Amino acid sequence: MSLDSSQPNCRRFDGQIAIVTGGAQGIGKATAIRLAAEGATVLIADRAEPEAQAVADLITASSGQASVVSTDLETWEGAEAVVKTAVERYGRVDVAVHNVGGTIWAKPFHLYPIDQIEKEIQRSLWPTLWCCRAVIPQMIEQQSGSIVNVGSVATRGINRVPYSAAKGGVAATTVCLAMELAEYNIRVNCVAPGGVDGGERAVARNKGLADYDQVDADGIKGVMDQTFRDTPMGRMGTPDELAAAIAYMASPDAGYVTGEVMHCSGGGAGIR
């Protein structure tokens, strides 16, 4: 992937500072590259520091501007550190894309052990909540900003109830914050992906987990079967396609759009 892969036709983010969380791989990586290609200076926040640095190096090698902060976004301290770093390095935050999250296990809800339920919520809800809470005061001070949270059509699906609940929380957070923050010229939107073919992950979500077993393997097969059944376009999306949707929502082109959940999912839909 290079800065040219998304083929942006304009520079909507010239002079803007953008945070992209989970930017080391997949949708986050494609989004960081897309925003940089359109002129943004991008701060990539990810605890997979070598992989995040590789993305930043790719951007700078193509005459873009990017740097990395390594932090754990499942904690308030980690989210606060990202915003502090952005302000210290660049003076402001114009765009914040909150992308951290992802299913770890997959099975009918009654088969989830309690600790797995807690870990799914920890992975896929708290990073967005913490990051929103951290960046909002800076954007209020500026009287401007655009937040794009990454949700999921898993809010209408099977075998991932804890993850689905987390992503439902992301959607609800988006709508409520949009209502609270409109008076400050801050827009808050959500892009909800369907199935996305991100290739091999730089950091596997469930690799080496002793409690990821055949039940989960069967559960994820059920998820995939349902995804293809309920996706009219009959295929997976690509990270670049999601990055394009996120870039639109973050950009001035969506200047009169706030509180929306955009399903970028080949026609599949979750609960709005």
As annotated, the active-site residues are 163
Of 149, 154, 156, nearest to 171 by C-alpha is 149
Count of CB atoms situated within 10 Å of the CB of 269 = 16
**Sheet with 41-45, side-by-side order of all strands:** 65-69, 41-45, 17-21, 95-98, 145-150, 186-193, 261-264
Nearest one of 4, 62, 60 to 34, comparing CA atoms: 4
Identify the helix (H) or strand (E) that includes residue 221: helix 214-229
CA 187/CA 88 separation, integer angstroms: 23
> Alpha-carbon distance 13 to 16, whole Å?
5
The amino acid sitting at 268 is: G
Q: Distance between CA atoms of 186 and 205, rounded to whole angstroms?
A: 33
43-79 burial, b if ≥16 CB within 10 A, otherwise e?
Answer: bbbbbbeebbbbbbebbeeeebbbbbbbbebbeeebb
Phi, psi of 97 (to 5 degrees): -105, 120
Rounded Cα distance between 245 and 32, Å, is 13
